Chain A
Amino acid sequence: MNKIEILVVGVGGQGVITASEILSEVGILAGYDVKKSEIHGMSQRGGSVSSDVRFDKEKVYSPTIRKGHADFILGFEILESFRALPFAKNTGVVISSDYKLDPMTVSAGAAKYPEALQDKIKALVPNSYFFNNADTIKLVKNPRALNVFILGALASFLPIEVDIWKKVIERKVPQKTVEINLSAFDEGYKIGKK
């Protein structure tokens, strides 16, 4: 894979930026040119958050992913994964949590949270994988390690050595949580391989 484009999506505060940060460092160590884009400020307050990461063995120009070009969508909230689908290749892979968080438009009664999103996503991108959020939190023992779990699942699809991932995770997560994050990565990797 000479070019890899990954879109990480979720809701403000879920760790989207940290995940894309780890991902970018992994790409550099694996010998890719890397660019990433992210959104700060007002839109971050509980709104939709996305971060684009692009790897290229040669050169990356734009920091943002074109529609229909993402090889992977990593979703921390299922409506956000759904919303991101225009960016996915239809042969791409979606790895998403089943977590649901009502947007204010839904709470205010102005819109409905769409139903059966797993089926809808699978119909559009057949290679879609979902994990149960509550069960996974129990499995990885810390809700803050969910983003590393999802990176583990992604790692199982990528031609990048596991050691590189682990080296970056050790450097990027708080010292106290290194062990929990490394085992979250392993769990994600195992599930991804299945």
Chain B
Amino acid sequence: MSKKLLSGNEAIARGAWEAGVKIAAAYPGTPSTEILETIAKYGEVYAEWAPNEKVAYEVAVGAAFAGKRSIYASKHVGLNVAADPFFTSSYTGIEGGFVVVTADDPGMHSSQNEQDNRNYARFAKVPLFEPSDSEEARIFTKMAFEMSEKYDTPVLLRVTTRVSHSKGLVNFEDRVEKVVENFPERKETKYVTIPAHAKPLRIRIEKRFKDLREFSENIEINFEEINDKRLGFIVSGISYQYIKDAFPEASVLKLGFTNPLPMTKIKNFVDKIEKVIIVEETDPIMETEIKANGINVHGKDIIPNMFELNTDIIYESVTGNKPQIIEVKEAPVRPPALCPGCPHRGVFTILRELGLRVVGDIGCYTLGVLPPLSALDWQVCMGAGISMVHGLEKAWDDENYNNIVGMVGDSTFFHSGITGLIDIVYNKGLGTIFILDNSTTAMTGTQDNPGTGKTLKGEITNHVSIRKIVEAAGVKDIYEVNPHDLDKLKKVVSEAVNKKEPSVIITKSPCVLLRYKAKEKFTPLTVNPEKCIGCKICLSVACPALGFDITNKKVFVHPELCTGCEVCSRLCPTSAFELNGEPLVYENKHKIRGN
């Protein structure tokens, strides 16, 4: 048995492969993305990026109905999109083992909320595993497949950012193929959920849950470590690691399987220990249930109920002591920013110049909200960048309120933008929609999507045309424009927002990360200090490649970062930017605001 350093995500992929998984489907989303990227590298596994999580779930559960082992993975909010099939598949059960991975993001490192998806296990009445490091991620994934088949249920495996993106040593075992002789027989009372069938299935769930309770009491991954009997902790997931560092002398009941909870084991532990604190990230899920069983424990009265925990937070919450550390004042925060050369920068520059109100979506372009761009007004979830425009405009059914535009990315459009666009056409909306086509799913690390012509396995495939979909939805006013061409962009947007019909502007320019990857050589701009008047107007485009020298009060360019996209230089009132020593002078100047 060899050992390797793997992330939690890589270890889940490894565990699934060892368990003989045949099918894997997902839509990318931080912190879950690397699960499928890793699984795709195993030749025995069919792995795909689906257009969205619901589709991914249905592909994976279909494979499980066909008798093969399959896995679905997404970030926490992704499971919201897949919630519909998730709930009903709990009723049907499966033929081949089916594991549903949710990668939650407490503390919202890269998410719009920090919902605790352990709630989903209770909500859908499915079993729940919570690994606390990479090796457990591998082992629990394998156990989850076994359990799925034994109890005829989808199994939820919940990890968090710290488990997904931390690395630890993992043992390797061989793959064991799951042999399935025949395609499954027809079982319509199990797999066709008309009410007459769903009712007995509902009863079956309760029976299954009772059996699982017994399993939870006996499974070896729910274990206690009895040390100091004055203080003990009940933990699941990453909290175990923090507790071992913060209180090495304390007793611990470590739960790797948490739905249903092993209530007898918990009672026995609490009886032995003077003071027991439940340490769980975000929601008091175990705490609520344990207290409802009349067991006296502490939890959220001591441990914070929001954001990510860590060793220090737990230690300080429990002891009330704040260790002496070095304090740093006046370190300005460094929020993320659009990359130098990002094609979205031009779009935001123009939208701000025209003073339009903008509905955003999930993707790098959300960064357009931050100062100094400050050009985004609303953003909720994937697809809302189109549908919400319609609601905003209909609410103020007045010609003066046609200054709202929406935006989605190429991958987001395939994900859930299409239905919103159909709604606008069907219900006589006037919305102007940007589809920012940068030929990739950028924010999660440049994954392929139906528009890129390549599959997750790296194969050449059919290319789904955004324009043809837009045309087929019934939009007549369609523009395609290079977002680095600010003049054209401005003209097109001004025209589109004033039309009395829905308009779609497809901006086409590859994500600059793809250009870095292709080792494209860039010629950086320079600033002529004689001409720069230090007005800082160029800095308003929020480019990390620009700096301001406080001694001579001039802007300068970091040559190692600049891609020469010329968005900043088009705002310069004195034409101080140069390319190859030649001044960049333009016919039309652009401003921060106003025409």
What residues on B are CB-neighbors of A35 within 8 Å?
A: 133, 166-168
Q: Establish whether residues A42 and B334, one from each chain, have CB atoms under 8 Å apart when the complex forms.
A: no
Give the number of residues in A that approach B within 8 Å (Cβ atoms): 56
What residues on B are CB-neighbors of A104 within 8 Å?
A: 334-335, 337, 370-372, 542, 544
Inter-chain CA distance A35–B244, complex, in Å, is 14
Q: Is B193 an interface residue (CB 8 A)?
A: no
Q: Establish whether residues A41 and B335, one from each chain, have CB atoms under 8 Å apart when the complex forms.
A: no
Q: Which of A13, A67, A108 contacts B539 (CB 8 A)?
A: A108
Q: Establish whether residues B165 and A38, one from each chain, have CB atoms under 8 Å apart when the complex forms.
A: yes
What residues on B are CB-neighbors of A64 within 8 Å?
A: 162, 166, 310-311
Interface string of B10-49 (1 = CB under 8 A from A): 0000000000000000000011010000000000000000
Given contacts A34-B5, A40-B31, A41-B443, contact A82 B331 (CB under 8 A): yes
Q: Is B85 an interface residue (CB 8 A)?
A: no
What is the CB-to-nearest-CB distance from B368 to chain A, in angstroms, rounded to a whole number? Answer: 12
Given contacts A35-B133, A62-B310, A102-B548, contact A41 B109 (CB under 8 A): yes
Looking at A83-91, A147-155, A159-167, A182-190, the stretch in contact with chain B turns out to be A83-91
Q: Establish whether residues B169 and A33, one from each chain, have CB atoms under 8 Å apart when the complex forms.
A: yes
What residues on B are CB-neighbors of A109 within 8 Å?
A: 372, 536, 539
What residues on A are CB-neighbors of B331 within 8 Å?
A: 79, 82-83, 114
Interface string of A18-52 (1 = CB under 8 A from B): 00000011001000011111111111111110000
What residues on B are CB-neighbors of A40 within 8 Å?
A: 30-31, 33, 110, 165, 445
Inter-chain CA distance A179–B33, complex, in Å, is 33
Inter-chain CA distance A46–B5, complex, in Å, is 27
Q: Is B534 an interface residue (CB 8 A)?
A: no
In A125-163, the 8 Å CB interface with B consists of: 125, 143
Q: Is B581 an interface residue (CB 8 A)?
A: no
Which of chain A's residues has its CB closest to B541's CB?
A: A107
Q: Establish whether residues B167 and A90, one from each chain, have CB atoms under 8 Å apart when the complex forms.
A: no
What residues on B are CB-neighbors of A46 within 8 Å?
A: 334, 336-339, 544
Q: Is A2 an interface residue (CB 8 A)?
A: no
Q: Establish whether residues B330 and A45, one from each chain, have CB atoms under 8 Å apart when the complex forms.
A: no
What is the CB-to-nearest-CB distance from B525 to chain A, in angstroms, rounded to a whole number? Answer: 16
Question: Which of B30, B238, B324, B335 has the largest count of A CB atoms less than 10 A from its CB?
Answer: B335
Given contacts A37-B162, A113-B332, contact A107 B542 (CB under 8 A): yes
What is the CB-to-nearest-CB distance from B152 to chain A, in angstroms, rounded to a whole number? Answer: 35
Q: Establish whether residues A62 and B169, one from each chain, have CB atoms under 8 Å apart when the complex forms.
A: no
Which of chain A's residues has its CB closest to B443's CB?
A: A42
Inter-chain CA distance A28–B134, complex, in Å, is 15
What residues on A are CB-neighbors of B542 within 8 Å?
A: 104, 107-108
What residues on B are CB-neighbors of A102 within 8 Å?
A: 546-548
What residues on A are CB-neighbors of B548 within 8 Å?
A: 102, 106-107
Q: Which of A37, A85, A107 contacts B165 (CB 8 A)?
A: A37
In B497-515, the 8 Å CB interface with A consists of: none
What residues on A are CB-neighbors of B109 within 8 Å?
A: 39, 41-43
Q: Establish whether residues B547 and A41, one from each chain, have CB atoms under 8 Å apart when the complex forms.
A: no
What residues on A are CB-neighbors of B240 within 8 Å?
A: 61
What residues on B are CB-neighbors of A28 within 8 Å?
A: 3, 5, 169
Q: Is B399 an interface residue (CB 8 A)?
A: no
What residues on A are CB-neighbors of B327 within 8 Å?
A: 86
What residues on B are CB-neighbors of A68 within 8 Å?
A: 323-326
Q: Establish whether residues A111 and B332, one from each chain, have CB atoms under 8 Å apart when the complex forms.
A: yes
Q: Establish whether residues A41 and B333, one from each chain, have CB atoms under 8 Å apart when the complex forms.
A: no
Interface string of B155-172 (1 = CB under 8 A from A): 000000110011111000
Task: Name B's A-contacting residues (CB within 8 A).
Answer: 3, 5, 30-31, 33, 109-110, 133, 161-162, 165-169, 238, 240-242, 244-245, 310-312, 315, 323-328, 330-339, 364, 366-367, 370-372, 443-445, 536, 539-540, 542, 544, 546-548, 550, 558, 560
* 9 CB-based A-B contacts, threshold 8 Å: A40-B445, A41-B31, A41-B109, A41-B443, A46-B336, A63-B167, A86-B327, A107-B542, A107-B546
Task: Name A's B-contacting residues (CB within 8 A).
Answer: 11-13, 24-25, 28, 33-48, 60-64, 66-68, 79-80, 82-83, 85-86, 88, 90, 100-114, 124-125, 143
Other contacts beyond A86-B328, A114-B332: 5, CB < 8 A:
A46-B336, A64-B166, A67-B312, A101-B558, A105-B332
